[in-house]
Structure 1
């Protein structure tokens, strides 16, 4: 358990909560047992609940693993009273840990973030979480640029798997953060009554930040879908081209095979002049002529 206090505001951070931590919250802050039951075990549903003397939020933060190329939700539970902000989470959360360290190490930043009350500190915390999204979005955008470049370099088949991975990254990110919009709208409606009317502009700003992030994800989604369609068209076109060439070559070889089969029949044994060396070369010249004629015909028709 970590604590940072400044003036009349205290931030308590609990990592890997235990029953002892839950009992501490119940004893010192009188949170309802139903709410505390959301802390252990972790909840899979993002939400915000408003009570008389506190506010309870459950946020799920997308954390990207660049090695496995998977995005998983990390839960963050937030209790906010008039004098305390309490964060509870399982495991390491980069945006939370970074913000906590900045507030603890820099007196000027502590004054900036803590001086305006619990509502303002909540605003700055959520803003730090949104800032954490941008490097992940930049990574997705970089992958999309690489995929686009490789597609038009003729590596369509290799990009099929990469496109699937990029789509999963975008869809997982959108799925995890989508519920946050309704949470922010609820804060905008009810938060000013709890924190003061001056907080309305702060919560409205968070909605604007969220909308920009979600619109970016929508743009990436449309882009990767367009690239997927382009890639499928190029792969299909190459396949059709290959089938067209195979069909043409089969058509050219068909009459040649037919001619050789005729002269390979028993008539060669009954007709003496067909067994002469000269006839052998004449037959080969005839077959070559037919092959050249067929090739020239397809060229004339622009099928080759």
Structure 2
């Protein structure tokens, strides 16, 4: 599907899941190097930027976070000319969709597009994508806050899987955006010949937004490490307490069992002829058990 938007003499074509015929038509109409055809119809594993005579080609990956299932990164290919921008992607993009709605309401973009070439539209799209990435990181933070509450409410044993899932999301996020910094550096140098030296200010702005995302991501990673260490400590303490209780129960019941067994071995069972005698023996065993527990408490084995 091809969606076309025009703004101040600039054409933006958004291709979502295009067919080969649609790609060939766009390549022919905008004189895109045919060598890019294979790159446009297949997935590109690494982000990149290529410079041609009068256009630039970029591949950027963006993270997609879902609460229940793992989702692959979103790849968006950008082809920038002086007065046109082409975006190609094979999955739905919230950032592109939201920006397209903004572009349809021209008044909303008076502060976003200060100029009339494709570089400004690219800048606005990338800023929107980074803002949405920040929103996803905020969702991750809320998830960690919920986990923190559960950890300190005694559910640390249930939080091991939750912490692992959050860690995987953070790793996927970092994996998707790890090359953006170097791509923007290369893009800055290549964009001068098409958009002029003044455009470097906007590239710096994009880089600044990217580093904000990195800073938030590192903060989330540090918080996750602290939560995992705290959870492990509490879980270890709970396990040790359980083992201590089981050990004390064993040391308490073993002497009583031994005494009862010895009495049965050295005396005739018939010697317990009355209920009163049974009570005496039972009370004696209970008193011995209490003395053992008092000894454990005095040694601070019972907390």
* TM-score, normalized by the shorter chain, greater than 0.5: yes
User: Within 5 A, what are the aligned runs for 1:1-304?
Assistant: 1-66=2-67, 68-107=68-107, 109=109, 113=113, 115-265=115-265, 267-269=266-268, 274-277=271-274, 280-304=278-302
Structure 1 position 44, deviation (Å): 2.5
- Classify the secondary structure of the residue corresponding to 2:65: strand
The question of whether the paired residues in 2 share the 8 Å contact of 1:71 and 1:172 is answered with no
Alignment RMSD, CA only? Answer: 2.1
Deviates further, 70-79 or 274-283: 274-283
C-alpha distance in 1, partners of 2:262/2:12?
95
C-alpha distance in 2, partners of 1:203/1:111?
16
- Classify the secondary structure of the residue corresponding to 1:75: strand
Deviations along 1:266-290, one digit per CA (max 9) or x if unpaired, are x323x98x45546544433332221
C-alpha distance in 2, partners of 1:250/1:111?
75
Deviates further, 164-173 or 57-66: 57-66
Deviations along 1:182-217, one digit per CA (max 9) or x if unpaired, are 111111233223310001111111111101101111
The question of whether the paired residues in 2 share the 8 Å contact of 1:48 and 1:186 is answered with yes
Cα 1:98/1:288, change in 2 over 3 Å: closer
Cα 1:112/1:135, change in 2 over 3 Å: closer
Cα 1:264/1:197, change in 2 over 3 Å: same
Cα 1:254/1:6, change in 2 over 3 Å: closer
Matched residue pairs, number? 300
Q: Which runs of 4+ in 1 moved over 6 A?
A: none
C-alpha distance in 2, partners of 1:107/1:255?
86
Structure 1 position 17, deviation (Å): 1.2
The question of whether the paired residues in 1 share the 8 Å contact of 2:81 and 2:194 is answered with no
- Classify the secondary structure of the residue corresponding to 1:101: helix
- Classify the secondary structure of the residue corresponding to 1:87: strand
C-alpha distance in 2, partners of 1:6/1:111?
14
C-alpha distance in 1, partners of 2:240/2:108?
66
C-alpha distance in 2, partners of 1:14/1:276?
96
Cα 1:217/1:71, change in 2 over 3 Å: farther
The question of whether the paired residues in 2 share the 8 Å contact of 1:9 and 1:114 is answered with no
User: Which ranges in structure 1 are unaligned for 5 or more consecutive residues?
Assistant: none
User: Which ranges in structure 2 are unaligned for 5 or more consecutive residues?
Assistant: none
C-alpha distance in 2, partners of 1:119/1:254?
81
- Classify the secondary structure of the residue corresponding to 1:120: helix
TM-score computed with the length of structure 1 as normaliser:
0.91
The question of whether the paired residues in 2 share the 8 Å contact of 1:69 and 1:169 is answered with no
